[in-house]
Chains A and B, each alone.
Chain A
Amino acid sequence: MKKWTRRAFIGAGTVAGGGFLLGVAGFTFAPGRHSLVSADAAEKGQLTTWITVTPENIITILIPHCEMGQGAPTALAMMAAEEMEADWTLIRVQEAPALDEYANGYIVRAVGGDYVPAVMARGVDYGAYKIAEWFGLQVTGGSTSVRGTGEFGMRVAGAAAKDMLLAAAANKWGVPAAECAAAKSKVTHAASGRSATFGELAAAAAVLDVPTSPALKNPDSFTIRRTSVPRVDIPSKVNGTAKYGIDVTLPGMAYAAIEMAPVFGGKLKAVDTAPAVSMPGV
């Protein structure tokens, strides 16, 4: 076991097509103001990927939670887009795949409540993370999506992405990053009047070091959060394209039905499968 740190682990890489991937691991395991991840997170493949920017300036945000009518994908995308200074109309949202890499453990920690004494917090954090890791939990529930993944995952991922895009612009123009500003999916350098879209900067930004603790916005300056935007999931729910569990078909998929014992404590004596087997399609 390598040393555990409270420093967030963030990684970035390029993807085919010149896109820009920004991954943040560990934030969803964080119970409070810190993040808790394994120091060997990258070796173990725990790096998770949330934000992609295409050359066409479209930002795709992966959401590691289910949409169940609570609107979490919309809320989480807003939290990332806010910190990133993105143009909300250019944001796209995708469900993260059901893979261990996208496991989230905040719900485990949330079970302990917010009442853990400070001296015990680190141990509880560690325990919560280990439980999530062991079980490969990818959980949606307990009101944890926004206060866990949103606060410690999406906000930081968005802020880190913005800082990288600012740095890429500064490098390109030979100016200090502090003189560049991001807004509406564009970086501008006011003094020289230059500007570039996030999409134009994404490939260069993706090869930069990722800031581990980017500054988050003051809520007073929020422009996307604190507004009411149409939910991203609703169009697919009015035209029949939204996929539910019952809509999934896999090759060779079999169907099962349960025949309950008609009396409490009943024991199975015998099964005659012939009538079932004779049915069409069996």
Chain B
Amino acid sequence: MAITITVNGTSQTLDVEPEMPLLWALRETLGLTGTKFGCGIAACGACTVHLDGRAVRSCTLPISAADGKTVTTIEGLAADGTLHKVQAAWIANQVPQCGYCQSGMIMAVAGFLAQNPKPTDDDIDAGITNICRCGTFARVRTAIRQLADGEGAAS
């Protein structure tokens, strides 16, 4: 089945099974390995990408559900070589440890702040449910608060 999606600004036509998870199409078919496979059941969020601007967990989303839509991955989050404000805040706060979950974490936070630019701590708890086994949650929260307050590094 031919699926057409726009990934990081480039239109792609893929001949894949319609039930193939979007994550598979990104990693295996398009070679965009920045997005990670974590749990495979949409529980951990390591696979988070943006579908038409909203954060989705791509490991359980069939590629057919993305047909005709726009996908942004961690590789496409920076615009014209300028880091997205979430990426800059992640460096400023030295958030990642092993980093495996952080592509998904950053995409989740970028999508979350786009919907909710001034989140409360309760909003953060409810909106960011990605799992980090290194336990970077404290720095994740600090970085989100800075971004919400407009203090994020704006490099």
A binding-site residues for B, Cβ under 8 Å:
67-70, 230-231, 233-244, 246-247, 249, 280
Contact = CB atoms under 8 A, between A and B. Distances in A.
Interface string B69-112: 00001110110000100010011001111111011001000000
A236 B74 CA distance: 11
A280 B17 contact: yes
A230 B17 CA distance: 44
Given A230-B91, A246-B36, A280-B17, A238 B96 contact: yes
Contacts of A231: 94
A180 to B, nearest CB: 37
Contacts of A241: 34, 75
B contacts with A: majority SS: loop
Contacts of B99: 69, 233-234, 236-237, 242
B102 to A, nearest CB: 5
Contacts of A235: 91
A233 B74 CA distance: 16
Interface residues of B, number: 28
Contacts, number: 60
Contacts of B87: 238-239
B98 A240 contact: no
Contacts of B32: 240
A280 B95 CA distance: 40
Interface string B41-82: 000000000000000000000000000000001110110000
Give me the 10 closest cross-chain CB pairs, A-B, nearest first.
A240-B34, A69-B97, A237-B99, A69-B98, A240-B74, A247-B33, A237-B96, A238-B87, A240-B75, A238-B90
A48 B17 CA distance: 48
Contact of A239 (B31, B78, B94, B95): B78
B73 A239 contact: no
Contacts of B95: 234
6 contacts: A237-B96, A239-B75, A239-B77, A240-B103, A241-B34, A249-B31
